[in-house]
Structure 1
Amino acid sequence: MNRVFPHRFYSAALATLAAFTCVLAQAAGPLESWNDGPSKQAIVDFVTKTTTAGSPDFVPPAERIATFDQDGTLWVEHPMYSFLMYALDRVPELAKAKPELKNVEPFKTVLSGNRKAIAKLTLPDLEKIIAATFTGMPVDDFNAEVSKWMASARDPRWKRPYTELVYQPMQEVLQYLRANGYKTYIVTGGGQDFVRVYSEAAYGIPPEQVVGTAGATKYGYGKDGKPFLTKEAKLLLNDNDAGKPEGIHLMIGRRPHAAFGNSTGDKQMLEYTKAGDGARLSLILLHDDAKREYAYGPATGLPDTKVGTFTQTLYDEAKKQGWIVVSMKDDWKRVFAFEE
């Protein structure tokens, strides 16, 4: 018997199975984790009219840009942003290298392990912690530390890696857009270098398509003569609020035709996208499912929050401007891929 035959037969079988699976997926239609309704239909209609040749709303492939906020839009942001969790977890290691921090606030509070006290830390306190744990080291060292943390850290509620808490419906939107010629970008208030470490594995978005809050780097040489970059405590771009469209212009160079967010920090990005000529899609996610995820606003009477705030004023603007307001509770069949 020709020993190559089984391998060829196996390969052909796999190809046939893949083709059959693709046919089934196409027959089922896009966005399988979405309930049928206005939100799902708005996404499908937008993609159809902007990618169909001859359509008055046709968008040339080079101009098909879609931007996504990350925290609260692509994955879970409660009870605290993941990059803050990383920063807090890094404080003990930082204190080993710099023992003087053990008696300096806010590091002293973090090292105490008192969760109530930690929860009361102010924004300036958190900024000090982020500056200390995100800077003063080679970029490669920082990337290695984030990778290590991502592999071991677990969300306090689901006890799963953070990268498993990506919203399945939004994964499907990313895949659907890319399948139709759109280039997908993350535009986040989180640290740009932090998100770039895992963005490709988690979302299929390469690091060069991540726009985030960015700090300066300094070029230098090691003892071995090899060049490297050091992360410095100097802010270059605060990628929140108006910083999002500013960052889009700076790093992408094209106004998006579609933008996705979930909070007041995404307001200007959604406005900027919708104000462009031709067909545009601005979508904002409302977290209103306390059972499967979290419920917070304070829009529509939901509990108020400092993390991912979605005000009634923003909700009213979304309705007035024709943005798509997605209800996690009503529009999503499931939230995570691991749900049965």
Structure 2
Amino acid sequence: MKRVLLSLVLTSLCGSAIAEPLSAWNDTAAKKAIVKWVENATDADRSTFIPPEERYVVFDNDGTLWPEAPLTFQIQFALDEVNRLAPQHPEWANDPLVQSVLNNDIKAVAAAGEPGLIKLLALTHSNITTTEFNQRVANWISSKKDPRFGCGYDRLGYQPMRQLLDYLRENGFKTWIISGGGIDFMRVLSQKMYGIPPEQVVGSFALGEFALTGDGTEIKKTMQGAFNDDATNKPVAIHLFMGHRPVAAFGNSDGDLAMMQYTAANPRAKTFGLIVHHTDAQREYAYDSHPPASGKLVEGLQVAKEKGWTVVDMQKDWKTVFDPAQCPAMETK
């Protein structure tokens, strides 16, 4: 009798797990749309079936898998690196942009625009080997915490989206990151945070320089041939690195629109599109037309309505934003 009861309990638990693969999501239209699309795509008896070899899905990173406000993680890393490296570079003393960083004058840094950003990346991301850069990122992750959430940056992946990645992989989908963030920066974190291996991470990059050394070989990071993997460059990067047109795309800003349009036009599959709309100022941030750093969402909302893409209302559709076990401070609702 005990064995029978135990079997019933285990069966019930397993059934619940199967029925609720997205436990961090509220039972709203967004979750239902995801589950319905996956069921349709993986049922061989339905006309919407997508063969396993074609199940490529793409995710933006900043603002889609982790926060991008008030600064993207990589920009914060660059600012922290300028502060750390400044004592080693007395020649920076007469550089207004560096002095703005050292004085924590973020408005002045922002006013420098894209040229200023490129300069900061050149100071902190180039003229070092890829091995050294990876170690610098790892050191930063182990020593810094987000000032608002009080957690390490590697603990700030959105729990609902991490569950979505797992759910898709469990159903035979291949998950890729296609992001404007730096490819080397994201690759240090992607496996641990999302279960996505480095070879399935595509981001902005510049050409490296190969050299033989006394104890082996090295690749030195440069700013030569820089490619910004954003907006209309995303479909180009998908074609170049992935070699497949995706069947689903997940983003959060107008910078992801071209990637989502490219995916939606896939002639071989009934595709899926999802936009994360930042509406939760209490647990994260709320913005669209006036983002604090990047990620403006105006045209994307309009196109999503026209195309029937799923728009996630972060405040209404997510039970949790971050995993309470890893970052409990902001989960107050």
Return the alpha-carbon distance in structure 2 between the equivalents of residues 189 and 143 of structure 1: 18
Deviations 1:205-253 (A, max 9, x none): 000000000111111022x241110011113421100111110000000
Q: Residues 102-128 of structure 1: CA distance to partner in whole angstroms, max 9, x if unpaired?
A: 211311221233445445442211210
The answer for the alignment partner of 1:4 in structure 2 is none
Corresponding residue SS for 1:106: helix
Shift of 1:73: 0.3
Equivalent residue for 2:305, pick from 313, 319, 327: 319
Q: 64, 71, 76: which is aligned to 1:80?
A: 71
CA distance in 1, matches of 2:18, 2:181: 38
Higher relative contact order (CA 8 A, sep 6+): 2
Note if contact 1:297-1:305 (Cα within 8 Å) is conserved in structure 2. no
Which blocks of at least 5 consecutive residues in structure 1 are unaligned? 1-15
Amino acid in the other structure paired with 1:203: Y
Residue number in structure 1 paired with 2:320: 334
Q: Which moved more, 1:19-28 or 1:169-178?
A: 19-28
Residue 153 of structure 1 and its aligned partner are, at CA, apart by: 1.3
**Aligned with 2:154 (options 127, 151, 163):** 163
User: How far off its partner does 1:41 sit?
Assistant: 1.1
- For 1:134-153, list aligned pairs within 5 A: 134-153=125-144
Q: Does the Cα contact within 8 Å between 2:66 and 2:156 map onto a contact in 1?
A: yes
What amino acid sits opposite 2:257 in the alignment?
Answer: K
Work out the CA distance in 1 between the residues paired with 2:177 and 2:16.
26
The answer to whether the Cα contact below 8 Å between 2:254 and 2:295 also exists between their aligned partners in 1 is yes
Distance of aligned partners of 1:149 and 1:21 in 2 relative to their CA distance in 1, 3 Å threshold = farther
C-alpha deviation, 1:74, in angstroms: 0.4
- Per-residue CA deviation, residues 24-45 of structure 1 (Å, 9 max, x unaligned), is 6525422111111221111111
Q: Which residue identity lines up with residue 257 of structure 1 in the other structure? A: V
The alpha carbon displacement at 1:96 in A equals: 3.0
Match among 240, 253, 257 for residue 247 of structure 2: 257
| Residues in 1 aligned to 2:83 and 2:36: alpha-carbon distance in whole angstroms | 51
Corresponding residue for 1:70? 61
- Report whether the alignment pairs 1:55 with 2:46: yes
Conserved? CA contact 1:237–1:247, under 8 Å? no
Change (3 A) 1:252 1:283: same
Amino acid at match of 1:310: L
What is the letter of the counterpart of residue 189 of structure 1? G
Q: Is the 8 A contact 1:66 1:182 kept in 2?
A: yes
Matches within 5 A, 1:1-340: 23=14, 25-222=16-213, 224-277=214-267, 278-298=269-289, 303-311=290-298, 313-338=299-324, 339=328
Say if 1:239 and 1:116 are closer, same or farther in 2 by CA, change over 3 A: closer
Instruction: Please provide the CA RMSD for this pair.
Output: 1.9
The runs of at least 4 aligned residues of structure 1 exceeding 6 Å deviation read 19-22
Deviation at 1:21, TM superposition (A): 9.9
**Deviations 1:284-324, CA, capped at 9 Å, x for gaps:** 111011111110012xxxx554421111x321111001111
| Residue-by-residue CA offset, 1:154-196 (whole Å, 9 max, x unaligned) | 1110111112111111011100000000010111100000000
The one-letter amino acid of 1:195's match is M
Mark the runs of 5 or more structure 2 residues left unpaired by the alignment.
1-6
Q: Which residue of 1 aligns with 2:3?
A: none
Specify the code of the residue in structure 2 equivalent to 1:124.
Answer: P
> Match of 1:47, as an amino acid?
V
Cα 1:22–1:249 change in 2 (3 A) is farther
TM-score normalised to structure 1 length = 0.88
Question: How many pairs does the alignment contain?
Answer: 317
Measured in 2, the distance between the counterparts of 1:112 and 1:88 equals 11
Identity of aligned residues (%): 42
